[in-house]
Structure 1
Amino acid sequence: MIKLITASERHEANVGDWLSSYYLFSFADYYDPSNIQFGPLRVFNDDRMQGKSELPSHPHAEMEVLTVMLEGELTHKDSLGNEKKLGAGHVQRMSSGTGLTHSEANEGDQPAHFYQLWFLPNKKGIAPSYEQLKVDFQDKKDQLIPLATGQKVLEDVVFMNSNSTVYYGHVGQGNDIEFKTYKIRKTLIYVTEGSILVNNVELDRHDQIRLEELEAVAVHGTSEASFILIDVPALEVNY
């Protein structure tokens, strides 16, 4: 099964002047019972936080929270005692487990652009933990770069408690990338910039495609393009 969702079908959140946000799944003021999650992927928000603004401290529990930084800088603080700077090319993971609180602030003048993804964990009741890694994924060309995984087969990536993997992809105009998958897994692709064909379906900037019960995902660059590819199990186990 292949489902195309265009950029105009994303939910534009009414948060305020300090934050521009588009929701790919039901979140906050947006609820669609047919669009709750994709495997264990529960949230995918495309966020831009304006300079001199802050998301105040708030709680999480039993969720793997992943932030992928594209532009600008954020200052992270949490109840575990972490105070960290996140810049473009950083990947952050919070395993909220039995509970933590955190805040994110843009202390600079320029907007910060980032993706936030939430995954249902494959195990409840774990101690909360934090990890961040500078991957510099935006410098890579014509390949898929793993950013975070729970599959324990990849090195130098952020670990999360979900049998899922998040990749950053780049493909040049006229070039191809093939992603091997399985019928028991699902794939979501969200276009950051440019345009691509995915299994002969055309996607433009901010379009997404959800694919199920396939054995291969073929990406062709109709222009130079970057995208996020998320590989998830059709059904997360042990949750």
Structure 2
Amino acid sequence: MIKLINASERHEARVGDWLQSAYLFSFADYYDPSNVQFGPLRVFNDDIVSSHSGFPLHPHADMEIVTILLDGEMTHKDSLGNESRLAAGEVQRITAGTGVTHSITNESDKEAHLLQLWFLPNKRGLAPSYEQMKVDFPDTKNKLVPLVTGQKVLEDVLFMNSNSTVYHATLGQGENIDFRTFKIRRSLIYVLDGSLVINSIEADRHDQIRLDDQEVVSIHATSAASLILVDVPALEVNY
């Protein structure tokens, strides 16, 4: 099965004058029982955070939280004692586990653009932990580059406690990528920019393609494009 979800179908939300979000799944005041999660992928938010604002200190538990900073910069602080700055092209993973509190704020003079993805962990009660990694997005041209994975440990890839992988890619016009998968897995592609044809389905900026029961996901760029691909198990036991 292949399902196209147009950009206009995302749930748009504003929080005060500091946050503009698009929710791909049920989140906060948006609830659709038919759109709660995709395998263990529970949250996928596309956020614009105004300058000198952000998410104040708040708690999480039993969740794998991935943040991909596309533009601007954010400052992270948590109850584990971590304090760091995320710049554009950096990726962060938090294992909330038994419980962690953190804040992520934009202390700069320009707005920041980030993606937040939350995964249900494959084991509960884990020790909280934190990782951060720099990714040179321009170097990902015409290939899928894993950013965070729980399928196997690779160099220069953040680890998460979910049998899932998040990839980033940029493609030049006319370029192609084939992602080989299995019918027991599912794929979600979110178009960040440009236009793609994915297994014969056309998708434009901020569209989603959700794919089930596929062995190959064929991606063709009809214009210069960038994307996030999330590969998840069709079923994953969450203890």
For the criterion TM > 0.5, the same-fold answer is yes
Report SS of the residue matched to 1:143.
coil
Percent identity of the aligned residues? 69
The CA distance in 2 between the partners of 1:191 and 1:17, in whole Å, is 26
Q: Is the 8 A contact 1:89 1:138 kept in 2?
A: no
Q: How does 1:221-236 map to 2 (within 5 A)?
A: 221-236=221-236
Answer yes or no: is the 8 Å Cα contact 1:88–1:136 preserved in 2.
Answer: no
Q: Does the 8 Å CA contact 1:149/1:165 hold for their aligned counterparts? A: yes
Partner of 1:157: 157
| CA apart distance, 1:232 | 0.2
1:164-183 matched pairs, under 5 angstroms: 164-183=164-183
CA shift, 1:69, in A, is 0.7
Aligned residues of 1:24 and 1:45 also touching (Cα < 8 A): yes
Equivalent in the alignment of 1:34: 34
Counterpart of 2:135? Answer: 135
Q: CA deviation at 1:141?
A: 1.1
More off after superposition, 17-26 vs 136-145: 136-145
> 1: CA distance between counterparts of 2:130 and 2:51?
25
Residues of 2 paired with 1:172 and 1:93: CA distance?
29
Instruction: Tell me the equivalent position of 1:103.
Output: 103
The verdict on how the C-alpha distance between 1:10 and 1:238 changes in structure 2, with shifts beyond 3 A counting, is closer
Equivalenced residues, count: 239
Q: Which runs of 4+ in 1 moved over 3 A?
A: none
> Would you say the 8 A contact 2:153–2:159 is kept in 1?
no
1:219 corresponds to which letter in structure 2? I
- Structure 1 window deviating more from structure 2 (152-161 vs 183-192): it is 152-161
Structure 1 unaligned runs (5+)?
A: none
- What is the match of residue 20 of structure 2? 20
What corresponds to 1:77 in structure 2?
Answer: 77
Corresponding residue number in structure 2 for 1:93? 93
Within a 5 Å distance, the mapping from 1:184-203 to structure 2 comes to: 184-203=184-203
Q: Name the SS of the counterpart of 1:139 in structure 2.
A: helix
Equivalents in 2 of 1:173, 1:9: separation in Å? 26
Q: By how many angstroms is 1:54 displaced?
A: 2.3
What's the TM-score once normalised by structure 1's chain length? 0.98
**Hey, what's the Cα distance between the residues in 2 that align with 1:29 and 1:132?**
30
- Distance in 1, matches of 2:220 and 2:9, equals 23
Give the secondary-structure state (helix, strand or coil) at the position aligned to 2:8.
Answer: helix
**Contact 1:78 1:103 (C-alpha < 8 Å) held by counterparts:** yes
Quick one: distance in 2 between partners of 1:197 and 1:146? 21
Deviations 1:127-183, CA, capped at 9 Å, x for gaps? 100000112224321111110000115321110000000000111111110000000
Q: Which moved more, 1:113-122 or 1:137-146?
A: 137-146
